[in-house]
Structure formats: structure tokens, C-alpha cells
Amino acid sequence: MIRAVIVMNTQGKPRLLKFYEFQPPEKQQELTRSVFAGQGALLSGRPDNVSNFVEADAIFGPVIFSSLLFVSFVAEITKKKKQEEFKEGTRLVYKHLATLYFVFVFDSCENELAMLDLIQVLVETLDRCFKNVCELDIVFNFNKMHTILDEIIFGGQVLETSSERVLKAVEEISRLEKSSSSVSFVPKSVSGRFGR
């Protein structure tokens, strides 16, 4: 399963944090920091020409629940083995795009290369949604970003892999939200001030 999705900028400021296992805010900060500049200087110290995949057991530790517990209930015998597997298998894959790092943290059940491409799916979807996405889109619309992510990953599992269908779903949501609420949430003054 996918354990977390982290989007942060090149200075290490989080832009979106989504942990599929609950982490208290302090822990989230700690994890984000160590992903950015952890032991052996993770993202911040990595040159561009090295692998996008990083062993992340040291940071994320064993899976707390979900797959692990589930397995331990169903098959007691394989429990220990599985535990070790999960413990060993946590990796993170990142993609560095413009000023942002997109980081997926996942366990050994997922195909690494597929995860790398799932980031691509996410980014492509964002790009189509925001028309040439940039960091600020994500800062200001991070609730929308959550919506998109929820359409792709659901409870740590890959729900939908077609960016076209994700986009359709998100557009549907925004359309219905608009029609259901009579009030405009965009104060005219803001767009007036920042518009050209």
C-alpha cells in the first residue's frame, strides 16, 4: 500500500501532506523534515543523476496497521515473515518538478516503477486541472489538490489510474459544489487586486 504522499518545495516547506496511516502533526513534521534532509541528506542533498528511489525504512519504520495487522490475523504462520518484509520494504520515490518534490512512500507490495508513473499521473492531472500548474496553485488550492489525490489514491490503495477519468470526477465535483452553493467564495476584491 501507499503509506504517504508528500508534496514539498525545494526549500523543504510542505505543500501537501497526506498520511494514510494516522500520524500526529508533530510526527508528520518530523517525517517530512527527515524526508527532505534526513540521514544521508535525502531529497535536499541528492544530485539529479541518481535514482529516484530511496530506501525509507529508517524514516518510516514498520507499517503500523493495515496490511500488517490484516495478515497477522489471517495467516499466523506467515506473520513473522510478512512483518519483516513490510519492515524491510518501505521505499519512497520522488519526482522533482520545477520547485516541487512529489514524494510517494509505499511498501513492498507496490511496483516501484509504477509508483513513479503514478506521480506522473498525479502531476498530469494537476496540470490539466490548473492549466499549467505551478507551486502557487497548490498552495492556494490545496483542498482541491486533496480532492484530486482522493480520486487517485483511496485509503492507501491505487483507486484510479486514468488521469482523464480523475479529471472528469473532479470537474463533476466542482460543478455540483458550485451549483449547490449559492454563495460565491471568491471575493471580488481579491481577484480584482491580483488580476492583471
Site for another protein in 25-44 (CB under 8 A): 25-26, 28-29
Which residues neighbour 122 within 8 Å (Cβ) at sequence distance 6 or greater? 102, 148, 149, 152
Task: Assess 48 for contact with another protein (CB under 8 A).
Answer: no
Task: Assess 24 for contact with another protein (CB under 8 A).
Answer: yes
Task: Assess 187 for contact with another protein (CB under 8 A).
Answer: yes
- Shortest Cβ 81–another protein spacing (Å): 11
Other beta carbons within 10 angstroms of residue 85's beta carbon come to 17
DSSP state letters, 60-121: H-S--STHHHHHHHH-HHHHHHHHHHHHHH-EEEEEEETTEEEEEEE-TTS-HHHHHHHHHH
Report the residue from 5, 17, 92, 103 that binds another protein according to the rule CB under 8 A.
17
Task: Assess 70 for contact with another protein (CB under 8 A).
Answer: yes
Which residues neighbour 31 within 8 Å (Cβ) at sequence distance 6 or greater? 4, 6, 19, 23, 59, 60
Task: Assess 88 for contact with another protein (CB under 8 A).
Answer: no
Report the residue from 100, 111, 122, 123 that binds another protein according to the rule CB under 8 A.
111
Q: Which stretch binds another protein (CB under 8 A): 36-44, 59-67, 86-94?
A: 59-67
Task: Assess 66 for contact with another protein (CB under 8 A).
Answer: yes
Kindly tell me which of 11 and 39 has the beta carbon lying closer to another protein: 11
